[in-house]
Structure 1
């Protein structure tokens, strides 16, 4: 397991909040904090591939170096004594972060950026990073009213029985233990099924038997973790609801939500499921997306 927490910055307020949050995570673990900024030279070429003026390249390089230096100041103000390394690299943001994530424990990004490095719109840079990174990705989001990143409340984990959900449970217990926080283990399923062809709603038969089965699934997925983490208080939350709706609701009072990148209801080949997409866009606290082992 790597001892590096990686965070990307573009100097925006959201990126700086991500740096501060990542510094706290690195300090709690005793890890190195690596702050990186992209110098996206390829985006500056114009015409038939003519290079941009050298002065423009120098300005971009200096700006990126300034973002990293400011990140280092923020990190040390949050966690004095933390080990910090900064890197400014001539690469487009997505390839840079994905490559750097290969030897990182966690990659941290802001919920929005200037538009060049990070973006609040899923489907652009943030979504690509979450989908392709080689380690868990934390998207730092704040409360809707203040924008502040919460430092209290429970850690919440979404459980659906999929293999990547198993990894999310392991990560969530570790994060809760490090934060001395209770863990809310949510298993939500809807009491309405949709026909895959006609998309017509159908009520599930045998409601009580379905509920009993879902309770057993949640109990099985938590078995053994309490013994491994006796310091973590577990709160089970079983709901007949859509997972994304329940997790978004819980994010209002949580300090962190942990989910798998794609659950058991997703389509084979999808890099991000609908639940993780919704949380990355709309959660009211940081979201940690866990990728499958083979990633």
Structure 2
């Protein structure tokens, strides 16, 4: 994988904000930045887009002076172009909203498909990041979640910020059989044993990475709550949330786990989705 950060640009305020984030990420990594624009029809490639790309490039230079910057203008649908470019990138960055092409990513399935099938982690710039907040890692114990943990530790080290590894659980997601209306699930199951098991899951998720990143301050946060609600609430105080591309035990036909999709659509800060190797 090349040391290149790519960013999708269409001239919208959202995509220009993504350029700022992508420039920061490239600078942190000592990587180059590639500004990418896709067009589906020749008429879409008018002189205005060259001005847009020039504006984006100047913005990146102002944000990170000395950054190596290249441009790619390619024919094709947004997903096809970005997916192809992601083969040669360490990180892809897109904005939450736009005009066309890269625009309206979150209004359809493009960003979900790119997060699920792209060849590098995808950072979606959305919400209002807390500049002094921690990096939030959503832990679920899945293979994709393990890959996300590695990315989160590296990103926290690059940014010089603490990491909050958060695992949310509840009895309704447990495989314990329900014995009837007279036996509420919180009576049937052993809550203390469940809590201990989820605590171990959380500890084991960060253990492979913690020793290798001693400079990263780590807080383990275990909550019994509704998973999506608790994680979305935690994103309000974070500068970035990192999640795996597929949750543990999700529907096999889903491109992303439901928690990952909820974060992409509703998180209060930027979201990075990391694919596992499963």
Q: Give the unaligned 5+ runs of structure 1.
A: 42-55, 144-148
Ranges in structure 2 where 5+ consecutive residues have no aligned partner: none
Task: For 1:1-295, list aligned pairs within 5 A.
Answer: 1-41=1-41, 57=43, 60-119=45-104, 121-143=106-128, 149-193=129-173, 203-204=185-186, 205-293=189-277
The number of residues matched between the two structures is 273
Residues 76-109 of structure 1: CA deviation (Å, up to 9, x unaligned): 1111111110111122211100111111111100
Scaled by the length of structure 1, what TM-score is found? 0.86
TM-score, with structure 2 as normaliser:
0.91
In structure 1, C-alpha distance between the alignment counterparts of 2:52 and 2:277, rounded to whole Å? 32
The farther-off stretch of 11-20 and 221-230 is 221-230
Mapped to 2, the partners of 1:212 and 1:130 lie a distance apart of: 32
Give me the whole-angstrom Cα distance separating, in 2, the residues matched to 1:130 and 1:230.
29
**8 Å contact 2:140–2:167 — kept in the other structure?**
yes
Corresponding residue of 1:47: none
CA contact (8 A) 1:107 1:138 kept: yes
Whether the aligned pair in 2 keeps the contact of 1:251 and 1:285 (CA below 8 Å) is yes
Counterpart-to-counterpart distance in 2, 1:122 and 1:271? 16
Residue 5 of structure 1 aligns to a residue whose secondary structure is strand
**Structure 2 vs 1, CA of residues 263 and 122 (structure 1 numbering), >3 Å: closer, same or farther?**
farther
Change (3 A) 1:240 1:73: same
CA shift, 1:142, in A, is 2.5
Structure of greater relative contact order (alpha carbons < 8 Å, 6+ residues apart) = 2
Deviation (angstroms), 1:120: 5.3
Matches of 1:125 and 1:224, distance apart in 2: 33
Root-mean-square deviation over aligned CA pairs: 2.3
